[in-house]
């Protein structure tokens, strides 16, 4: 009985996520969503991972195309500028913020997180890109999810040249806190 209930719950969640985020990289209308691909931020886990509510279902979302320094990875040390990246994402996406989730080629990553480009609906801020521009994130390319790789890479180069964020504080990404 328990395994049947779990399978039904998994099927319902998978269906809601697929409907909310659509196929082929373009969101489609989801049950209970206002606009296609719309969700509400529940909380920020770290600089590049958030929790959202999609039509009554809670989902972890990994922001595509970027990587922020680690703050909560179970097997990695806290990295330089990780706390600042998390604070920046929390400032951009406080609980209750309405966001538009846009897919790329793959729906989920190896950790079963929904993969998305995140746009704040109030002003259409492209959050993934903003984090890179401000120096709170670096580029992380995982083909086939590369729809915005040129735009994000260009922003990262500009942030590095200007010494923004982690580029001046740490000399680049992936540095442990000293």
Structure token pair of residue 113: 């997180």
Q: Of 47, 55, 70, which is closest to residue 15 (Cα–Cα)?
A: 55
CB 147 within 8 Å of CB 117: yes
Mark whether 59 is an active-site residue: no
31 part of the active site: no
Give the Cα separation of 17 and 31 in Å (integer).
Answer: 10
Q: Name the catalytic one among 113, 133, 160, 164.
A: 113
Alpha carbon dihedral 167, 130, 25, 28, in 10-degree steps, equals 150
- Assess whether 35 carries a catalytic annotation: no
Rounded CA-CA distance 1/135 in Å is 50
Catalytic sites, residue numbers: 62, 70, 113
């Amino acid at each position: 009985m328990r395994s049947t209930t779990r399978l039904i719950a998994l099927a319902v969640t998978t269906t809601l996520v697929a409907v909310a985020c659509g196929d082929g990289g373009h969101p489609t209308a989801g049950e209970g969503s206002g606009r296609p691909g719309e969700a509400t931020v529940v909380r920020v886990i770290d600089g590049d991972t958030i929790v959202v509510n999609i039509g009554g279902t809670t989902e972890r979302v990994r922001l595509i195309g970027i990587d922020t320094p680690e703050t909560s990875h179970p097997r990695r040390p806290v990295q330089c500028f990780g706390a600042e990246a998390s604070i920046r994402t929390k400032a951009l996406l406080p609980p209750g913020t309405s966001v538009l989730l846009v897919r790329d080629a793959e729906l989920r990553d190896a950790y079963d997180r929904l993969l998305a480009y995140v746009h704040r609906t109030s002003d259409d801020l492209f959050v993934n890109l903003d984090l890179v521009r401000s120096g709170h994130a670096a580029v992380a390319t995982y083909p086939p999810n590369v729809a915005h790789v040129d735009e994000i890479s260009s922003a990262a180069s500009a942030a590095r040249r200007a010494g923004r964020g982690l580029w001046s504080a740490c000399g680049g990404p992936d540095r442990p806190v000293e």
